[in-house]
Amino acid sequence: MGPFDVLLSIFSMVFKMLNLVGILREIRLRILEYIFGKRGVCIRPPTNYILNLPAYVIARKIKQRELTCEEASKAFIERIYEVNPLLNAVVGDRFEEAIGEARYIDEVLDSDGLEYKEEKAALLSKPLLGVPVTVKESLACKGLSHSAGLLVRKDTIASEDAKVIENLRKAGAIPIAVTNCSELCMWCETDNHLYGRTNNPYDTSKMAGGSSGGEGSIISAAGSVCGVGSDVGGSVRIPAFYNGIFGHKPSPSIVPNEGHFPEASNGVNEYLVMGPMCRYADDLVPMLKAIAGLKAFELRLDERVELSSLKVYTISESYFPFLTSRVDPELIECQTNVCTFLKERFGATVQEADLKSFQYSPLIWCAMILAEENYKLTEQILRNERDVITLYPFFEIFKYIMGYSKYHYITMTAAGIQHLKDSLPDFSSSFVQVGIKLREELQDFLGNDGILLYPSSPNTALLHQSSSLAPLNFSFTAIFNVMNLPVTQCPLGLNRKGLPLGIQIVAGRNNDKLSIAVAKQLESEFGGWREWFPGKGSRQKTT
């Protein structure tokens, strides 16, 4: 038996275990939902015009005094109060502090006194002046919860800002709230025992994705215009896709990771990235420049992007990852429409890339993540509680099914995989080599003028808990983290049931400006973020 057969057997076993746990958990939840009559709803679009403005327009209007900073902050805060009871996206806020900061900005901008002259000039130079933003709770925001959804960290309060939040403040943005994430940022649905489950604004019976699901949900619902998530396997792009907004995974080592929990070891630091999440494509560049700080110059984001020589690559469905769901025909149709548009509008060449290794995406991602010498996830996460998971995994799974465990079953699975890695011979080295070769192939043919179009997920937003029935679907996004490539998730309107469609646009390393430029063109053609309408079986409601 070769290394592939051994790892495939392990993954099949894990797949079956998650399938069983997910089914049992789902049965219990469905019984409770039937008893209490829970039903999905679709929230109403915002009525305040401020909520529909892009971030760069809000900043411009504040500088030109067409809009006060306080008005902008209050508009989004009021919207959060309106929609959050339905969504459970925001889990901590600094509304009073934010309004105080906004009033001070207005005071300086409205003053003609010499004492404010230099400070006023400094404020006017800030690209995101007065823009209210939200951030994922796994990023430290001074004075607010910093648990990453872990029950044993429920009393952890950030003593200082993460580096990206510090950079946002320097750019003039005002953090107003932190948003829910999956436990320890390790799952594609945002649900934890500390804050509960986040819902999708298009249909609250559907998941918001993960792990940055709170960000995706509240931005889509116009409770925030833009924000920041973290991504080691698709945690920015999956919720951006499910909630119909833009999400960008930057090239590695550009945006700082300091202040994120869980922390990344030296090796995984290349794979874990902080990325912007926005309703409008035009906000991606100013947000990326802001959170990257001084290193943003390496991406040359202000350079003009020429699309007339664009090369577009796709991958055959036969090479999609094994043990994943079949890709929805509507998503395949979207990809075809995008190819046709780029070919007709810009004369782009479109061809299928011969990348058979993509079918091993789950194995490549796991092998390359676990191969990092300093990667000790469970030791960092569970600390003194680690032995409970290691010694009694089946007991913890039983407690989970019954609703009494302190941990999400993905945490237990990660602990088990880490334990297996330490106990068994190394079978993953061959897949690390496959990954390195694939990385070189991708970078070679993408170059400076090529993009790869790839599904953001095989399905649109699923019912809550359904992701456990296909736990390897995350590999559609995760593979690009270990490939060290920038990726922009671009919304492409809504499907027949009123749920968001989308696609990933992949570019060569440090060529983030190309994938973002293409996303802007697709937004103009296909509409980008769309307001909601009630899908089949849902009803419209606000609180």
Q: Is 376 a catalytic residue?
A: no
Give the single-character DSSP code of 311. Answer: E
Q: Is 541 a catalytic residue?
A: no
CA 503 and chain centroid, separation:
14
Give the single-character DSSP code of 159. Answer: S
Task: Note whether 58 and 514 are within 8 A (CB).
Answer: no
Task: Note whether 234 and 273 are within 8 A (CB).
Answer: no
Q: Is 235 a catalytic residue?
A: yes
Q: 74, 136, 249, 406: which is the annotated catalytic residue?
A: 136
Q: 235, 251, 361, 405: which is the annotated catalytic residue?
A: 235
Task: Note whether 498 and 468 are within 8 A (CB).
Answer: no
> What CA–CA distances, in Å, run from 376 to 7, 37, 265, 272, 383?
20, 43, 8, 15, 11
Report the 10 Å Cβ neighbour count for 308. Answer: 9
Task: Note whether 368 and 482 are within 8 A (CB).
Answer: yes
CA 81 and chain centroid, separation:
23
Q: 211, 224, 468, 538: which is the annotated catalytic residue?
A: 211
Query: Which residues 6+ apart lie within 8 Å of 474 measured at CB?
Result: 188, 233, 234, 238
Task: Note whether 244 and 502 are within 8 A (CB).
Answer: yes
- Report d(CA 498, CA 537) in Å as an integer: 11
17, 18, 19, 24: CA torsion to nearest 10: 90
- Report d(CA 246, CA 468) in Å as an integer: 25
- Tell me the three state secondary structure of residue 221: coil
Residue 98, H or E segment:
helix 95-110
Q: Which of 489, 486, 490 is nearest to 450 (CA)?
A: 486
Q: Strands, E, within 34-169: which ranges?
A: 41-42, 90-93, 132-136
Question: How does DSSP assign 475-489, residue by residue?
Answer: HHHHHHHHTT--EEE
Residues classed as catalytic:
136, 211, 235
